[in-house]
Amino acid sequence: MRIAVTHTTSYHSDTPARAVQALRLVPRSLRGQTVLSWQVRVEGAGGGLRYTDAFGNAVELMASHGPTTSVVITAEGVVETEDTAGVVGFPPEAVVPAVCLRNTALTEADDAIRAVAATCRRETALATLHAVLDGLHAAVAYGTGTTGSFTTAAAAFAAKRGVCQDHAHIFIAAARSLGLPARYVTGYLLTEEADAVAHHAWAEAMTPDLGWVGFDAANGQCPTDRYVRLAAGLDAAEAAPVRGVRLGAGSETLQVNVGVQASQSQSQSQG
């Protein structure tokens, strides 16, 4: 499937301040996806500093020239995808799988997560991970409003409700508690019903034979050809497409618009 993405992130503030942002907004070609074209434009800040981080993400650092009230970042491109049943394999990257057993504040399992995870043990890592996927999809409802960007896996699991970030964090916490390396992945999803969508997040876990495999607990499935993979990290904070620091006082409003479309289909925005 050919998927076109336009992803705009805008920051506006009432008082001018310096802005420094690290962008992880460039997908890479790997098993299941080929990046046909991609570009990132930034208004209000200069950049040009690029490197590949430990997880293989292309990072670009943006810094405003002096104080600014507005930064607008637009990532745009076309990706050719195919359904690999979520299998990403062994893409070239510096990080070793064992690093993905490390917990962060957002992905620390509590007793409740550990207990559920323990009931999911099966013969193989892959079967275990599918059991975790099914279990979490059933146990945690999808819903906005109860959780925020800093909600931990444990808190979201206790609330039995969350958004894709929470489902991914809980899945990661459960997998790591079983000794299976897992990580957070950001990307885009073209939904079945509207044929359009927004930014999405899911998890990847390591299996000995297949390598990294994606698990989307929010939708109870492994990624298909309707998914575009953007960046990976130990948790949502590390893999964030835009991570910024604003140096100065005053409040800030953030708006994210993502349009994802199958070639020639209609786009839709989500705030």
Kindly list the residues in this chain that would bind other proteins in the complex (CB under 8 A).
18, 20-22, 46-54, 59, 61, 63, 65, 93-96, 98-99, 101-102, 234, 243-245, 247
Residue placing its CB nearer to other proteins in the complex, 78 or 101: 101
What is d(CA 146, CA 132) in angstroms, rounded to the nearest whole number?
22
Residue 38 exposed, middle or buried by CB count within 10 Å (0-12, 13-18, 19+): middle
Residue placing its CB nearer to other proteins in the complex, 178 or 190: 178
Residue placing its CB nearer to other proteins in the complex, 59 or 72: 59
Write down the least CB distance from residue 98 to other proteins, Å. Answer: 4
Write down the least CB distance from residue 47 to other proteins, Å. Answer: 8
Residue placing its CB nearer to other proteins in the complex, 135 or 244: 244
Is the separation of the CB atoms in 174 and 120 below 8 Å? yes
The helix, strand and coil proportions of the chain, stated in percent and rounded to the nearest 5, come to: 20, 45, 35
Write down the least CB distance from residue 48 to other proteins, Å. Answer: 5
Write down the least CB distance from residue 96 to other proteins, Å. Answer: 6
Residue 61 CA to its chain's centroid (Å):
19
Give the three-class secondary structure for 130. Answer: helix
Write down the least CB distance from residue 173 to other proteins, Å. Answer: 15
Residue placing its CB nearer to other proteins in the complex, 53 or 216: 53
Residue placing its CB nearer to other proteins in the complex, 105 or 115: 105
For 5, 29, 96, 216, the CA distances from 197, given in Å and listed in that order, are 10, 21, 32, 15
Phi and psi at residue 70, in whole multiples of 5°? Answer: -150, 135
Give the angle 100-103-104 at the CA atoms, nearest 5°: 115
Task: Name 201's bridge partners.
Answer: 186
What is d(CA 211, CA 205) in angstroms, rounded to the nearest whole number?
8
Write down the least CB distance from residue 55 to other proteins, Å. Answer: 8
